[in-house]
Amino acid sequence: MSSFTHTPPSLDGNVFTADSLLQAYLKRHSHKLDCTSATQSPLQQPSIATTTKNFDYRQLENELRNLGHLAATTLPNLATIAEKYPPQHIAYDAWQNRVDEIETHPAWKELLRHAAESGIVGDGYHYRSTQYSRYARLVQFAKLYLFDAQCAVVTCPMAMTDGAAKLMETQEGLVSRFREVYEGLISKNPKIAITAGQHMTETRGGSDVSGATETVALHENNDDYKLYGFKWFTSAIDAQVAFTLARIAPKGSTVDDVLNMTQEQKKKIPLSLFFMYIREPETNKLNGITVYRLKNKLGTKALPTAELKLHGASATLVSPVGRGIACISPMLTVTRTWNAVCAVSKMRRIIHLVRDYSTKREAFGKKLGVLPAHVQTLARMSVEYEGCFHLVMDCAKRIGFTEVPDSSSEELRQNQELVRILTPLAKMYTGKVAVPLISEGLECIGGQGYMEDSGIPAILRDAQVLPVWEGTTNVQALDVLRVLKKHPQAIMTLMNRVQRLATKGHSLHQTPTCPTLDDMLKSIRETLLKSLKELSQYMEQMKQSRSSDFVEAGARGFAFSLSRVYILALMLEHAFENTEYERDLHAAHSFVRMHTPLVNVEQVDESRRKVDQILAMGEFRSKL
């Protein structure tokens, strides 16, 4: 046997101290930019007012250093144990009583405790009234980004918990009505903290919630209803409360009427939003719920995802009748942002591990970290990750800006519009990039990356859910079209911002300029301006088109193009406002090289659509 021993990739005890992008981004935002001069002329150089701060970076640094240590040590260890001992469904007790107990391992419970204590939900709420104020969401999501990568996806219930708290804030009177629940959702004290579920997906389909939901609500008293239906995916069933959608049965209906309604009858009734306890608070028995089974999944192994039958579950109507979809949307804004942050967290983790491994592993007599093809692969991964990081953090911080608005109502309006469009873009783009990027990272670690006990396969498995749940890639892309149709101003605001960044003055810091850098900057600016023109032209084509097929077939191309353009603008902004102009400009320029043309939408006219239909369905066409 060889005397050689492998040195495994390691996190060196802290994922925050090693993360220069996160540190630079937060430092940058801790300063208040004095941009008064920029309003006079876009080419004048704004300056950082050294005395004014948005928040004290050093205080935040201390918090993140502690969390960075936890995320590099305790969390991955707990995650490994929790995945090794996945949740169990105990349907009956020894005496034939239906109990539907869900047993989770203590490691999972520990992860939930750490999640509450670390403030990955609570800080978004409690920090609003601290020095972080409108940056509370940025801080919260920075913490989530550190926390998520190897935590057995305990962030799934936490995402829904945050979404539920946000939903409660946006529905008038809901917080005061269920104050204890709200305080439990945002609590950092594990003794009080509770989690929430979002029970939307049913057997007929999760993408088409409006059309496919079969659950019916039968009126009892006031806002009290009983729910009858089947929820096909519910993570995590160990939560205490849930928000769900159902159709209110016509007045005078009986349970039998409800059970015998056809889907055609149901579809005519718009959805309403309900709040429910999973277990009756008084008895701790399941609230009119039968757990059919826990799902057997590719990844997210420790997460108890159940199939549930609702047979008279008590629930409270919390939206105006028939306004369920509109009222649940703030919850989805939050959970989709979580999805995007978690995608970037996992990308960062694999890059961290690959970089470390590249300093240790040798091939052909050299460290991997200097082998040109390996360097090229890792550089592309890094640029892709950086782009995703900027997209996600921009979305995250703007949620905070809408919650603690500046004095200007115009700024608030713009941030609301940006959040509306950035949420589907960030969810879609990062979810789609994460899987191949992490797969590439696994490959960079060679055969050992494929070994289960290296911990790396779990990152890939768990990443695969990111483009699926919370709405698939195509569903997000169609959502972008919906925003374009209903709120065209949102896309205009985004494009105006790109335009401003493309024509903005030079770096805020003293930076050397040289012909190469100037050429790069020029090329980035030109790419942005050209891409804006192309996007406008395509949007005009969509407007003129009478074919919804043309518009829908281009949805993905359009949404990815818009994402790429915005990402490049954000990378340029970072280069201007960060202290490493040359390095950051190179990153932005690499992004251009990797993604040219940024705007790339296939034009699917009628004849092309017919060809695609043949190519897509092949020998199965006759079955359509």
Do 333 and 162 form a contact (C-beta atoms < 8 A)? no
Between 297 and 360, name the residue whose CB sits nearer to ligand FAD.
297
Query: Residue 586 interacts with ligand FAD (CB under 6 A)?
Result: no
Query: Residue 527 interacts with ligand FAD (CB under 6 A)?
Result: no
Query: Residue 161 interacts with ligand FAD (CB under 6 A)?
Result: no
The 3-state DSSP class for residue 546 equals coil
Between 242 and 396, name the residue whose CB sits nearer to ligand FAD.
242
Ordered DSSP codes for 96-130: S-EEEEEE--HHHHHHHHHHHHHTTTTHHHHGGGS
State which of residues 54, 474, 499, 579 lies at the interface with ligand FAD (CB under 6 A).
Answer: 474
- Of the ranges 78-86, 163-171, 193-201, 366-374, which one interacts with ligand FAD (CB under 6 A)? 193-201
State which of residues 14, 198, 527, 590 lies at the interface with ligand FAD (CB under 6 A).
Answer: 198
Between 356 and 462, name the residue whose CB sits nearer to ligand FAD.
462
Query: Residue 234 interacts with ligand FAD (CB under 6 A)?
Result: yes
Query: Residue 294 interacts with ligand FAD (CB under 6 A)?
Result: no
Q: How near is the Cβ of 465 to ligand FAD at its closest, in Å?
A: 5
Count residues near ligand FAD (CB under 6 A).
Answer: 23
Assigned token pair, 566: 């915005």
CA atoms within 13 A on the CB side of 239: 31
State which of residues 33, 294, 412, 468 lies at the interface with ligand FAD (CB under 6 A).
Answer: 468
Do 315 and 247 form a contact (C-beta atoms < 8 A)? no
Give 438's contacts (C-beta < 8 A, 6+ positions apart): 346, 347, 350, 459, 460, 463
State which of residues 161, 171, 287, 300 lies at the interface with ligand FAD (CB under 6 A).
Answer: 300
- 489's enclosing H/E stretch is helix 488-503
Query: Residue 475 interacts with ligand FAD (CB under 6 A)?
Result: yes
- Of the ranges 205-213, 258-266, 528-536, 540-548, which one interacts with ligand FAD (CB under 6 A)? 205-213
Assigned token pair, 586: 């190179």
- 415's enclosing H/E stretch is helix 409-444
Instruction: Tell me, residue by residue from 322 to 351, as one string, x for binding to ligand FAD by CB under 6 A and - for no binding.
Output: ------------------------------
State which of residues 205, 211, 436, 488 lies at the interface with ligand FAD (CB under 6 A).
Answer: 205
- 381's enclosing H/E stretch is helix 372-403
Distances from the Cα of 263 to the Cαs of 173, 213, 216, 224, 560, in angstroms?
Answer: 33, 9, 11, 23, 35
| 452 CA to centre of own chain | 26
Between 227 and 517, name the residue whose CB sits nearer to ligand FAD.
227
Assigned token pair, 141: 């999501």
Assigned token pair, 124: 């978004």
Q: How near is the Cβ of 327 to ligand FAD at its closest, in Å?
A: 15
Do 197 and 237 form a contact (C-beta atoms < 8 A)? yes
The residue with its CB nearest to ligand FAD is 206
Question: Over the range 110-130, which residues count as b (16 or more CB within 10 Å of their CB) and which as e?
Answer: bbbbbbbbbbbbbbbbbbbee
At 233, phi and psi to the nearest 5?
-135, 115
Give the span between the Cα atoms of 229 and 274, in whole angstroms: 13
Expressed in percent and rounded to 5, the helix, strand and coil fractions of the chain are 60, 15, 30
Query: Residue 291 interacts with ligand FAD (CB under 6 A)?
Result: no
State which of residues 125, 141, 228, 233 lies at the interface with ligand FAD (CB under 6 A).
Answer: 233
Between 245 and 495, name the residue whose CB sits nearer to ligand FAD.
245
371-380 contact pairs (CB < 8 A, 24+): 374/444, 377/440, 377/444, 378/351, 378/354, 378/444, 379/590, 380/590, 380/594
State which of residues 111, 112, 465, 598 lies at the interface with ligand FAD (CB under 6 A).
Answer: 465
Q: How near is the Cβ of 120 to ligand FAD at its closest, in Å?
A: 18
Between 216 and 445, name the residue whose CB sits nearer to ligand FAD.
216
Query: Residue 471 interacts with ligand FAD (CB under 6 A)?
Result: yes
Give the span between the Cα atoms of 204 and 202, in whole angstroms: 6
Q: How near is the Cβ of 395 to ligand FAD at its closest, in Å?
A: 20
> What's the full length of the chain, in residues?
624
Between 126 and 267, name the residue whose CB sits nearer to ligand FAD.
267
Terminal alpha carbon distance of the chain: 59
- Of the ranges 55-63, 119-127, 194-202, 578-586, which one interacts with ligand FAD (CB under 6 A)? 194-202
Between 305 and 430, name the residue whose CB sits nearer to ligand FAD.
305
Q: How near is the Cβ of 432 to ligand FAD at its closest, in Å?
A: 11
Q: How near is the Cβ of 292 to ligand FAD at its closest, in Å?
A: 15
Q: How near is the Cβ of 505 to ligand FAD at its closest, in Å?
A: 42
State which of residues 27, 32, 177, 297 lies at the interface with ligand FAD (CB under 6 A).
Answer: 297
Q: What is the dihedral of CA 292, 298, 301, 305, to 10 degrees?
A: -30
Between 430 and 578, name the residue whose CB sits nearer to ligand FAD.
430
Query: Residue 200 interacts with ligand FAD (CB under 6 A)?
Result: yes
State which of residues 161, 171, 213, 305 lies at the interface with ligand FAD (CB under 6 A).
Answer: 305
Between 206 and 400, name the residue whose CB sits nearer to ligand FAD.
206
Can you give the binding site for ligand FAD, defined by CB under 6 A?
197-201, 205-207, 233-235, 297, 300, 305, 465, 468-472, 474-475, 478
